[in-house]
Homo-oligomer: A and B are copies of this chain.
Amino acid sequence: MSLILAADIGGTNIRAAIITPQGKITEAVRTQISLDNRNISENDLIIQLVSFFNEIIQKNTDIEAIGIGFPGFFLGNSGFLISSPNLPKLNNVELASRLSSNLNMPVSIQNDALCAAMGEQRYGAGQGKQNLLHLTLGTGIGGGLILNDVPYTGENGMAMEFGHLRIAHDDDARSCGCGGFGCVESYASATAITKRYFENTQIRIDAKEIYEKACHGDLIAKDIIESSGHYLGTALAEAIKLLDVHSITISGGLTGAWELLYPNLIQSLNANLIPPLQGKISVLKSTLNDNAGLLGAAALVS
């Protein structure tokens, strides 16, 4: 049987899986990798990835293609890496074609958040939608967009920098890691939620604990999750007024508190839309969660 090797490459580890063309994960692999080294060079990256993939391929001779989600900006759907914010030495790398010639099989590679969008569209909550906006709520907030069934990258692979939409313009707007102010990411990402909870309680716990506290009645945690829904809805309205896309899926830890998040999100979304769009937008919780990226990477080659 022909199988796909899919990988979701993060800063500190690679998740990989062997996947059937129907989207069934038959075997999962996770490995530490030193991509958190900001100084990794192009050649070192290729060597590490080829070694990692070769080990899996040699054990599974049915693998016929590799799909990869990677934290970087790609030129269209060419597999050409323009740049990667967290790996600044990587610029203009023929990543897909270098991996393909080293591994001797087809390799496709695309932005990780865009892969998650493709996963949701092919196998998850956005199944069958020709137009889909997907958000990944993690330490940052990523976004992926599919228009007319095609992953949309923008001119330099930087489309859907959703986390940096502004939801505050006043002098008190929170500062963001991008250098700007008022970005939705600085209010509603896991990092922001941990920070906001600490500001209110002087207790530093991770976002997952805060979601759980919120669901069990902690009023400060509840308020932070609910207001995060409000901020996400406000930013989503801006995207919908520009894109007129009617299907949204959301994955990531914060969706664990969906019953607190969703009502505020949808209220704020509709309140900020023009009247003919109000009530028309469907916002669904991911059905794939952590696997959206892996399955979307597989969709690149199937």
Binding site for B on A (CB under 8 A): 73, 83, 85, 131, 145, 147, 152-162, 164-170, 178-180, 234, 237-239, 241-246, 271-272, 274-277, 280
Contacts and interface: CB of A to CB of B under 8 A. Distances in A.
A241 B165 contact: yes
6 contacts: A156-B244, A158-B241, A158-B276, A161-B277, A238-B242, A239-B242
B245 A155 contact: yes
A63 to B, nearest CB: 33
B160 A276 contact: no
- Number of this chain's copies in the assembly equals 2
A54 to B, nearest CB: 32
Nearest to A231: B169
Question: Interface of chain A, helix or strand or loop or mixed?
Answer: loop
Given A85-B276, A154-B243, A275-B178, A238 B166 contact: yes
B242 A169 contact: no
Q: Which of A83, A166, A234, A277 has the most CB of B within 10 A?
A: A166
Contacts of A160: 242
Contacts of A169: 167-170, 234
A237 to B, nearest CB: 8
A255 to B, nearest CB: 22
Q: Which of A85, A147, A161, A162 has the most CB of B within 10 A?
A: A161
B178 A244 contact: no
B239 A153 contact: no
